[in-house]
Amino acid sequence: MVSERGLEVLRVIVQDYVESREPVGSKSIVDRYGFGVSAATIRNDMAALEEDGLIAAPHTSSGRIPTDKGYRMFVDHLAEIRPMTPAQRHAIQTFLGEGADLDDVLGRTVRMLSQLTNQVALVQVPMLPRSRVRHVELVTLSSTRLLVVLITDNGHVDQRTVEVPHEAAPHEAAPLDDESLADLRARLNTLLVGKLLAETPPLLADLGETVPVGSRAVLERVTDVIGAQVDDRRQDRLVMAGAANLARTEKDFPGSILPVLEAIEEQVVLLRLFSEMELDSRGVSVSIGRENASLGLGEASILAGGYRSPAGALGHIGVLGPTRMDYSGNIAAVRAVARYLSKLLGDD
């Protein structure tokens, strides 16, 4: 059983080690924190913490550093969540509020969170099975190229180009026929607006027989593009920023940083981890070091909060970094950004 003073000693060891990356000794604790006891007494407290597996000596006759178990104790019982300053809150609100659409907002979100925490920032974009088509736009780019824009009711805008076969554009140097394109645009919107994304493929399949023969080649290409857009929305994805921060903290991965880089590249592992994280009473979830060993991330910590997408689905937002991270500050940043993101998307 760890004493109250022992817990306070653990707190300052975590805080000092996170700040300095240097092992923390008893003399340093006595000099900096005024516990009102001798260095010998603090050494006894540290010996008890070490016996409980909460701290460890990286080298003989050195100070002590937190273990994964020690970080867990700190996060669960000792971390004081520092509130964001008014300036930070204003910056979050202003920067995210300038987003043009959902993708832009999420991109801004991870960039802001990465800047606040100096970690890799992640936003899980949940699949949106209840998303509906708001509008389909067809824009002529050249005599044989169209831009297909699919807009959904959650604010997602997907733009893709499509090559139209020459036989569908009788005069190669001339633009696609405006009247035919307008007719096709009107037919697509009449058919699809208000429909669930999952309903669009079979509806498009039935549309082919109703359009003029001269528009069918164009419709075929447009149908393929919309089908690909729908398929991309059937599974969760990650938006990330701040991978360069890993280079600054590479020394905090004594084994290898490679598994973390692979997880970032593949995304599947991180999506699985996010899906298994349950938020606590503070609205956050923290997975530390060896708790992630089964996923190959035994030297990394992941801290996540939750936000609500426009369709009401729960998504995760968080940071990934070494176990030596500023948990208190990162929890505050993740909570603040997650809350504002939910509010912003809810207002939409």
pLDDT band at 288 (very low <50, low <70, confident <90, very high): very high
Query: Are 342 and 251 contained in the same domain?
Result: yes
Distant-in-sequence, close-in-space partners of 59: CB < 8 Å, separation ≥ 6: 23
Mean pLDDT is highest, among 37-46, 54-63, 308-317, for 37-46
Same domain, 260 and 111: yes
What integer pLDDT is reported at residue 162 of this predicted model?
A: 87
Average pLDDT, the chain: 86
Mean pLDDT calculated for residue range 95-107: 86
Q: Is residue 9 domain-shared with residue 54, that is, in the same domain?
A: yes
**Out of 7-21, 221-235, 243-257, 306-320, least confident range:** 221-235
Do 45 and 105 fall within a single domain? Answer: no
For residues 44 and 25, state if they share a domain: yes
In terms of domains, do 115 and 73 share one?
A: no
Q: Are 108 and 101 in contact (CB under 8 A)?
A: no
Would you say 313 and 126 are in contact if contact means Cβ atoms under 8 Å apart?
yes
**pLDDT (average), residues 184-188:** 91
Q: Which of 198, 232, 266 finishes a domain?
A: 232
The Cα 235–Cα 126 span in angstroms is 7
Domain of residue 62, CATH code: 1.10.10.10
CB 138 within 8 A of CB 192: no
CATH at 102: 3.30.450.40
Judge if 213 and 334 occupy the same domain.
no
> What do you get for the CA distance between the two ends of the chain, in Å?
51
Same domain, 243 and 332: yes
Domain containing residue 174: 133-232
Q: Which residues contact 52 (CB under 8 A, 6 or more apart)?
A: 2, 69
Sign of the dihedral defined by the CA atoms of residues 308, 309, 310, 312, in that order: negative
Residues 120 and 137 placed together within one structural domain of the fold: no
Q: Provide the domain count of the chain.
A: 3
Higher model confidence: residue 281 or residue 111?
111
Percentage of residues in the chain with pLDDT exceeding 70?
92
CATH number of the structural domain spanning residue 219: 3.30.390.10
What are 116-170's pLDDT values in tens digits? 999 999 998 876 556 788 999 999 888 788 899 998 887 778 888 988 765 544 4
Is pLDDT of 102 > 70? yes
* H helices present in 82-167, as ranges: 86-97, 102-117
Say if CB 105 and CB 345 are below 8 A apart. yes
Q: So what's the pLDDT on residue 51?
A: 95
Please choose, from the candidates 210, 25, 230, 253, the residue with its C-alpha nearest in 3D space to the C-alpha of residue 129. Answer: 230
Q: Does an H or E element contain 136, and which?
A: strand 133-142
Q: Domain ends where: 232, 258, 279?
A: 232
- My answer on whether 226 and 140 are in the same domain is yes
Dihedral, CA of residue 241, residue 247, residue 248 and residue 250, to nearest 10: 120
For the whole model, what pTM was predicted?
A: 0.73
Does the pLDDT value for residue 61 go beyond 70?
no
Q: What pLDDT does residue 233 have?
A: 65
Residues 227 and 241 in one domain: no
Among residues 212, 232, 252, the one where a domain terminates is 232
Measure the CA–CA gap between 71 and 66, rounded to whole angstroms: 6
Share above pLDDT 90 across residues of the chain, in percent, rounded to a whole number: 43
Same domain flag for 241 and 317: yes
- On the question of pLDDT at 175 being above 70, the answer is no
pLDDT recorded at residue 169? 46
pLDDT tens digits along 205-263: 878 778 887 778 888 888 888 888 777 666 678 899 999 999 888 889 988 899 999 98
Closest by CA position to 72, among listed 284, 318, 289: 289
